[in-house]
Amino acid sequence: MNVHTESLIAKIAEGTNKLHSRIDAQCAAIQRVRDIHAPMDAVMYAGKSQHVDLFCTGCGQDDGNWSIWPCPTIKALDEETP
């Protein structure tokens, strides 16, 4: 291998390591967002019956109510892009 090839391989390896670090950081950030917007069971009473709904632990409404889970944040994270 010549010096030019070795230099190119070293640059590619350095770039790959930086890219992996950025990917790891982004995955960790996404997980932190998911942890904030985790689902929470809530027992709802309607007359004599009850049922369980999921609400977002990170979202709330101005009127003090919870947002239904999955919230818009989780939907955006889970949305598949072409």
Question: Are residues 54 and 73 both part of a single domain?
Answer: yes
Domain range enclosing 15 = 1-36
What is this structure's pTM?
A: 0.75
> Above 90 in pLDDT, residue 21?
yes
- Checking DSSP bridges between strand 49-60 and strand 66-68, what pairing results, if any? antiparallel
Residues 27 and 44 in one domain: no
| Secondary structure of residue 51 in the 3-state scheme | strand
Task: Tell whether 82 and 43 lie within a shared domain.
Answer: yes
Q: Of the candidates 12, 21, 66, 64, which has an alpha carbon nearest to the alpha carbon of residue 41?
A: 66
Our count of domains for the chain comes to: 2
Q: Is 37 helix (H, G, I), strand (E, B) or coil?
A: coil
Residue 10 clears pLDDT 70, i.e. is over it: yes
pLDDT at residue 62 is higher than 90:
no
Share of the chain above pLDDT 70, in %: 99
Residues 44, 25 within the same domain: no
Higher pLDDT among residues 21 and 66, named by residue: 21
58 neighbors 38 (Cβ within 8 angstroms) = yes
The helix (run of H) or strand (run of E) holding residue 34 is helix 3-36
Beta-carbon-side half-sphere exposure of residue 77 (alpha carbons within 13 Å): 17
Mean pLDDT of 10-36: 95
